Structure 1
Amino acid sequence: MTQLEILAAAGAAPGRLNPVQLFLDADIVVQAVMIGLLLASVWTWMIIVSFSLRMGAVRRRCRDYEDDFWQAENFDALMKERGKKDIASARVAAAGMREWRHSTKGGRVIDRDGLRQRLAATMESQVSAEADELSNRLNFLATVGSVAPFVGLFGTVWGIMNSFFQIGQQQNSSLAVVAPGISEALFATAIGLFAAIPAVIAYNRFSHSVNGLEGRLQRFADRLHGSLSRELETL
């Protein structure tokens, strides 16, 4: 190749990476890996947005319900009015009140210690159920965060293997022969990290939010348990 041809080739080469072109030039297996990772990334961001909105709404409804609950003169009326709404605190209170009514009806002798234990167990179970229900969708974020880099690495390894195969086919170890294939292969790892990093950050953040909400519900349950225990002393 003459000096003029080298200069012409350099002038025709792109000045920066083109992700679309890297995808189009990649091997079919590497393309499949990239598509899967991009779909996982899109789904991850959908979960991030929807879960953020949901957690904000859950915290707001719980705060408003608990404020009204402790100011209400008639707990039963408040629970009847707002118990059917999607409020985690309301379901915790309803679980405790159901156990209270079931154990105190009929004029029978009340086992005070047993009732206290059942009230605590019932409300703790409901608190755990609320936390589990919220954290169900976070499993996908954990999976993407841990698996996506390895899936991208698989695409990279496959692409590099293909580049070495091209070296054998063309019997030419020039960097110009292997560089495009290696670039396309490394792009798969980049997409894997692009999917994994937001998933890991969001999973850690949302797990902390769920734990915080679980603690809030547990404090509400403990306070209700104390109120019912005081009421139990008068029976």
Structure 2
Amino acid sequence: MTVPIVDLSANAAATLSPYTLFMQADIVVKVVMAGLLLASIWTWAIIIGFGFSLSGIRRKCLKFEQEFWRTDDIDRFFENRGKENLPSARVLQAGITEWRRSTKQKVVDREGARDRISTALSSAVGGEVDLLSDRLNILATVGAVAPFVGLFGTVWGIMRSFTAIAAQQNSSLAVVAPGIAEALFATAIGLFAAIPAVIAYNRFSHAINKVESGLNRFADTFYATLSRELEHS
């Protein structure tokens, strides 16, 4: 008697194929998988684009601040570089603008001017940090929601498996395996979308905190410079 040889590796490869799992899935699970894949693509687009953008901003801000502190004429530097599309340049612009408004009167209220300049610089720093942090909300949302969306697909796939058992009155692995495989695949896609989003969120938050610290140091030092100028005005 000859025992037939079954190619288990080929069957396993076909069963574990992402395309096969997707095509065999229920319409609800397909929608969940498609939504998670789109979220993953969106997440990676933000990670790549924002990563390069944030790195360039940090480098350019550092160079801008170094060149500013080397200048002997703040007004000339501001006229030449103050309109650049950089957080440091906008902080400088806020300080210079408030300085000019507060010192254009014949009698200068020094304490009032100091308070207004400090407020203008702090507001400018806060605005720049808020602007940089906008995209982090998307990463935070994907990182928090994607696992639960994948879990919904998992629950739906398991429910389908139990329905198949009830319909066929057969609890063999051949009956329940397709639904369970689809369910676990939905969970895997949810984690695939969520894990990079969470890691990127933490890394970008740290980088933005460093940018904020640099802007605060620049604003504080610039405020001290303007405060000394007020003493001689």
Report the CA distance between 1:84 and its aligned residue.
2.2
- Counterpart of 1:190, as a letter, is A
Aligned residue identity for 1:133: L
Instruction: Find the partner of 2:177 among 161, 174, 179.
Output: 179
CA distance in 2, matches of 1:82, 1:62: 12
Percent of paired sites with the same residue: 58
* Residue in 1 that maps onto 2:36: 37
Q: In the alignment, does 2:89 pair up with 1:79?
A: no
How far 1:14 sits from its partner (Å)? 2.8
Distance 1:89 1:162, change over 3 A: same
1:136 matches 2:134 = yes
- Helix, strand or coil for the counterpart of 2:104? helix
The residue aligned with 1:52 is 51
Q: Structure 1 residue 12: deviation in Å?
A: 5.9
What per-residue deviation string (whole Å, max 9, x for no partner) do you get for residues 33-55 of structure 1?
00000000000000001111111
Indicate the residue corresponding to 2:168 in structure 1. 170
Aligned runs of 1:7-156 on 2, under 5 Å? 7-8=5-6, 10=8, 13-15=11-13, 17-107=16-106, 109-156=107-154
Report the alpha carbon displacement of residue 15 of structure 1 after superposing the two structures with TM: 4.3
Q: Distance in 2 between matches of 1:98 and 1:54?
A: 27
Work out whether 1:208 is the aligned partner of 2:191.
no
Q: Residue by residue, what CA displacement relative to the aligned partner does 1:120-169 show, whole Å, maximum 9, x if unpaired?
A: 11100000000000000110000000000000000010011011111111
The number of residue pairs the alignment matches comes to 232
- The answer to whether the 8 Å contact 2:37/2:193 transfers is yes
Q: TM-score, normalised by structure 1?
A: 0.94
Please list the CA deviations of residues 41-79 of structure 1 after superposition, one character each: whole Å capped at 9, or x if unmatched: 000000001111111111111111111111111112212
Q: What displacement does 1:9 show?
A: 7.5
Tell me what 1:234 maps to: 232
CA RMSD of aligned residues (A): 1.7
Q: Distance in 2 between matches of 1:80 and 1:111?
A: 26
TM-score, scaled to structure 2 = 0.95
Return the alpha-carbon distance in structure 1 between the equivalents of residues 210 and 115 of structure 2: 24
CA distance in 2, matches of 1:85, 1:224: 18
Map Cα deviations across residues 192-214 of structure 1 (whole Å, 9 max, x no partner).
Answer: 00000000000011011111101
Paired residues of 2:82 and 2:92 also in contact (CA < 8 A):
no
d(CA) in 2 for partners of 1:13, 1:49: 37
Structure 2 spans left out of the alignment, 5+ residues: none
Structure-1 separation of matches of 2:140 and 2:90: 28
SS of match in other structure, 2:12:
coil
